[in-house]
Structure 1
């Protein structure tokens, strides 16, 4: 086959890829920047034991898949704990926004350069000898392409589902 045929195939593939990206950007522009998603989990451990796992930042890589290591950072405003998580998609900085041990923890993205942001509110409620955990993500996805990929791909609740599954495995 002649080289022009391969150039033509390459041009068609490139045009198709560009069309997919443009369609995703257009779809993402129609989606809201903000979303709220929630998930829950029943655990056999009391709130204090679960709280210890949720707040032990140094041990996150031991139970959260995809997280290679965590770096503690200098405290933020008001002495709030801050840390940077490293994983297969890069790194992100987080901080504790609110903490009422052992019942309510709010963490937030503290990295303005990311294409996403928001907070996670974790609420532990005693239930018999164990507790129930509710995680509420109030997220923002700033770039339309990422918004479309998140919405039409795994869904906005994918992060909460992965987190709860990893925690359930850790607490088993």
Structure 2
């Protein structure tokens, strides 16, 4: 009997600890990354705005455009989610003649304390890092 109860008690303590830690964290966070991409801003802009090409790069999250200033600024907002929300701001600046500096800034909110703990442990810029890596690969 103890062989079953002990692991369950440990699991319950871990979940409660993660929930408690997350409750102490702020719901809002800001994460930002910048990467040099070997493509002109117009090319980067075209790919970022192609939902077929970028399908799944940022997860299966539905967004709507809040602000657009082609080819240098795009702000999208998460819609239809209950666990998290926020915006992604894409800034594209020319770098010499054939490259761009791409900055993605996430201003997010994670409403569930358990998810806040997971977000903090996994890294709040993890999705941005993955997106920039996929963008770079697609344009090289």
The question of a shared fold, defined as TM-score above 0.5 by the shorter chain, is answered with yes
**Contact 2:89/2:106 (<8 A) preserved:** yes
Match of 2:126 in 1: 158
Match of 2:24 in 1: 30
Distance 2:53 2:36 in 1: 21
Task: Kindly state the Cα deviation for residue 112 of structure 1 after the two structures are TM-superposed.
Answer: 3.8
> Of the candidates 5, 15, 19, which is equivalent to residue 11 of structure 1?
5
- Gaps (5+ residues) in structure 2? none
Match of 1:56 in 2: 50
The reply to whether residue 39 of structure 1 matches residue 22 of structure 2 is no
Q: Could you list the runs of 4 or more consecutive aligned residues of structure 1 that deviate by over 4 angstroms after TM superposition?
A: none
> Of the candidates 92, 117, 128, which is equivalent to residue 124 of structure 1?
92
Distance 2:84 2:25 in 1: 14
The reply to whether residue 168 of structure 1 matches residue 107 of structure 2 is no
SS at match of 1:58: coil
Task: Kindly state the Cα deviation for residue 159 of structure 1 after the two structures are TM-superposed.
Answer: 1.1
RMSD of Structure 2 on Structure 1 (CA): 1.5
The reply to whether residue 98 of structure 1 matches residue 67 of structure 2 is yes
* TM-score (norm. length: structure 2): 0.93
- Gaps (5+ residues) in structure 1? 1-6, 68-84, 86-91
Provide, for residues 22-77 of structure 1, a one-character-per-residue CA deviation record: whole Å limited to 9, x for no partner. 0001100111100001001111211000000000012223x83x86xxxxxxxxxx
Match of 1:145 in 2: 114
Distance 2:118 2:138 in 1: 29
Distance 2:38 2:123 in 1: 29
Task: Kindly state the Cα deviation for residue 19 of structure 1 after the two structures are TM-superposed.
Answer: 0.3
